[in-house]
Amino acid sequence: MHRSAFARVLAGLMMVPALLAGQVTGDAPVRGNPSAIVDLRTTAGAGLVGAAWRYHDAAIVEVAHRAVGSDLRPSGPPNRTCDLVPHAGVAGFDDSSWPVVPAESLEARRGNGRLSFGWYRTSITLPARVGMTDVTGTTVVFELVVDDYAEAWVNGSLPIVLGQAGGRFIRGFNAPNRIVLTRDARPGQRYEIAFLMANGPLSNPPGNYLWVRSASLEFYQAQSARVGDVVAGDIRRVDPEFDRIVPRDAKIEKLAGGFQFIEGPVWVKDDGGYLLFSDPNANRIYRWTPDGEVSVFRTQSGYAGVDVGAYHQPGSNGLTLDADGRLTINQHGHRRVIRIERTGAVTVLADRYQGKRLNSPNDLVYRSDGTLYFTDPPFGLPRVFDDPAKETSWSGVYRLKDGVLLLESRELSGPNGLAFSPDERFLYVDNWDVTRKVVMRYEVAADGSLGNGVVFADLTSVPGDIALDGIKVDREGHVFVAGPGGVWVFAPDGRHLGTISPPEHVANMAWGDADGRTLYLTAATSLYRIHLRIAGAGTATVAAR
């Protein structure tokens, strides 16, 4: 295929229209109607779960601190700043000296007006039954609405995640904060709840006071609390070995939709776990939580130039984590690989090879020794292969070790996804080229260099304008390739075992959840998942389902 035709095919695939019906959609923490509600503003409701409310004003005080240092942390010269006291969200905080507040008086106005802050604390214990509802196995949601803003701590925890809105954090002016306490309730489970209230807006504090509009527990039966919708799709079984990987009763679930074109997912284990994924067309990184909430994690994730309108895919693509849990991002528009430090600072890991600018880094993976490998096709450039800003005549597979960037392969026209075998003896790299839909397998030397590349799988004969994209490998060495018709699953010896096909074209995948056996699929405009028997390479060892 001529390069210009190749570019048109690629652009047609990637430019899913932005004018989709509705906006990006993720479920609320749970859907449907609860089977029972406990109103914590009533004596009966509070008594049912053993809740005794206590209140205390919070105040801004001046404290000693340090100015920002060269490490962007408080390591500079001593200074003075402000703090908010008390810090009453921590687990085991002694509130015994605080006055008890009757449940019916939660709506009473507290604080002193204007810039006011206050703490409420209580503990709840789940009963065996709530009305006609057997609590065992239910999903329990704590919902809070205050006048005006709130942050809620549960069991001494307030996870801080970039881009998070709602849940335990300020949701908005008089907006409900909804927190899933458990998705598998057991009678006797105890939860320590503390929430800080603030008068708002903070930039123009009103003359009114702090009060609780609503505080309740909602109980959802398992079916109504489901996060994903089981959707139509196809699971094609070619070889009996496929049953060891994909259960016979496996279902494809749709988790969220309304995106432009999503890619590059990675599972983050912190704070109960969540998924990050790119929308390179929309120039954003999104965050999806197991509660079904979708939020913008990072805007302008790949480019912030004045000519951004010329790009089909200006944003980030591949995402991964290094051994220290730092997010590493391939940025199309900026044509570079960056790492986000714990301080929020950006470190550019690679943007040039021998003085020439990279094309548009696509996918990436770390070796266990910290060496980073990434692919660099020109798909993020406005005119792809024919873009006048392209500075290399090849599309490379690169290795970054100890700050030195090395070109390992330039034989593929569109190197895309890449993944290591479980023992890291091999690196798999596939090709987005409709005239050569191949997965290459390279031997990895002790120093990390690649050699002896052979064709592991060839899908060129599969018709259509869809080539090969993301790759993942499970703990037993099965290779998952996003290609025409879905995710192709291969045995370590290259045999095609079966295909997982959601309703939309799959661009990439990520292993997730605590056991590492859930495969999350970024597919065109929607996010999907499927639960498998074998965990992903690099995840915790678990028993088969």
28-49: pLDDT as tens digits = 566 678 999 999 999 999 999 9
Q: Which tokens in the block code for residue 55?
A: 């209140």
Q: Are residues 300 and 176 in the same domain?
A: no
For residue 389, give Cα distances in angstroms to 300, 312, 359, 519.
21, 15, 9, 37
Task: For residue 340, tell me if it sits in a domain.
Answer: yes
Q: Can you give the residue range of the structural domain that contains 443?
A: 3-27+261-472
Residues 16 and 50 in one domain: no
> In terms of DSSP bridges, do strands 496-501 and 404-409 run parallel, antiparallel, or are they unpaired?
unpaired
- Domain match, 89 and 172 both: yes
Question: What confidence category does residue 1 fall into, taking pLDDT thresholds of 50, 70 and 90?
Answer: very low
Distance CA 28, CA 36 (A): 18
Question: Per residue in 471-480, pLDDT tens?
Answer: 999 999 999 9
Q: What is the DSSP string of 380-397?
A: TSTTGGG-TT---SS-EE
What local confidence, expressed as pLDDT, does residue 358 receive?
Answer: 98
Closest C-alpha to 506, from 295, 286, 233: 233
Q: Identify the residue with better confidence: 103 or 159.
A: 103
Same domain, 314 and 463: yes
| pLDDT at residue 105, rounded to an integer | 96
Boundary of a domain, candidates 472, 500, 522? 472
Would you state the pLDDT for residue 163? Answer: 67
**Do residues 163 and 145 share a domain?**
yes
Q: Which amino acid is at 412?
A: L
Residue 340 pLDDT > 50: yes
User: Is the CB of residue 178 less than 8 Å from the CB of residue 28?
Assistant: yes
From 166, 110, 161, 118, select the one nearest 142 (Cα to Cα): 166
- Beta strand pairing status for 486-490 and 496-501? antiparallel
| Confidence (pLDDT) at 29 | 60
Is residue 22 domain-shared with residue 48, that is, in the same domain?
no
Q: Confirm if 266 and 536 have CB atoms less than 8 A apart.
A: no
What pLDDT is attached to residue 21?
34
Last residue of a domain, one of 220, 251, 285: 220
Per-residue model confidence (pLDDT) at position 225? 57
Q: Give domain status of residue 480, yes or no.
A: no
Domain boundary among 454, 472, 490: 472
Nearest CA to 197 out of 133, 308, 101 is that of: 101
- Does a structural domain hold residue 505? no
Judge whether residue 24 has pLDDT over 80: no
Mean pLDDT over 146-173 rounds to: 85
φ/ψ region of 277 (left if φ > 0, alpha if ψ in -120 to 50, else beta) reads: beta
For residue 97, pLDDT beyond 50 = yes
Question: Is residue 485 included in any domain, yes or no?
Answer: no
Res 14: pLDDT: 47
For residue 410, give Cα distances in angstroms to 388, 438, 472: 20, 14, 21
In a domain, 238, yes or no: no
Give me the mean pLDDT over the 122-127 stretch: 98
The number of domains in the chain is 2
Q: List the structure tokens of 373.
A: 């490998």
pLDDT score of 9 more than 80: no
Same domain, 455 and 421: yes
Q: Which of 126, 120, 118 is nearest to 144 (CA)?
A: 120
Indicate the DSSP class of residue 176: P
The predicted structure's pLDDT at residue 542: 39
Q: Among 127-141, 212-226, 494-508, which is the least confidently predicted range?
A: 212-226
Q: What whole-number distance in Å separates Cα of residue 27 and Cα of residue 29? A: 6
Kindly state whether residue 232 falls inside one of the protein's structural domains.
Answer: no
- Helix%, strand%, coil% for the chain, nearest 5: 5, 45, 50
- The candidate with the shortest Cα–Cα distance to 323, out of 289, 372, 264, 287, is 372
Once rounded to an integer, what is the mean pLDDT over residues 453-470?
Answer: 97
Task: Tell how strand 53-66 and strand 100-101 pair up.
Answer: antiparallel
Which phi and psi (to 5°) does residue 525 adopt?
-95, 0
pLDDT in tens, 411-455: 999 999 999 999 999 999 999 999 999 999 999 999 999 999 999
Bigger pLDDT: 293 vs 65: 65
| Mean pLDDT computed over every residue of the chain | 91
Query: Are both 266 and 380 inside the same structural domain?
Result: yes
Residue 514 in domain:
no
Rounded Cα distance, 69 and 142, in Å: 40
| Same-domain pairing of 315 and 393 | yes
15: pLDDT strictly greater than 50? no
Residue bearing tokens 């986000």: 340
Give 30's DSSP letter: S
Dist. CA 327–CA 321, nearest whole Å: 5
For residues 202 and 281, membership in a common domain is answered with no
The answer on 53 and 22 residing in a single domain is no
Classify residue 545: in a domain, yes or no.
Answer: no
CATH code of residue 83: 2.60.120.260
For residue 342, the domain's CATH number is 2.120.10.30
Instruction: Please tell me whether residues 387 and 315 are part of one structural domain.
Output: yes
The confidence band for 3, taking pLDDT boundaries of 50, 70 and 90, is low
Asked if the model's pLDDT at residue 328 lies above 90, the reply is: yes
Q: What is the model's pLDDT at position 5?
A: 46
Q: Is the pLDDT of residue 544 over 80?
A: no
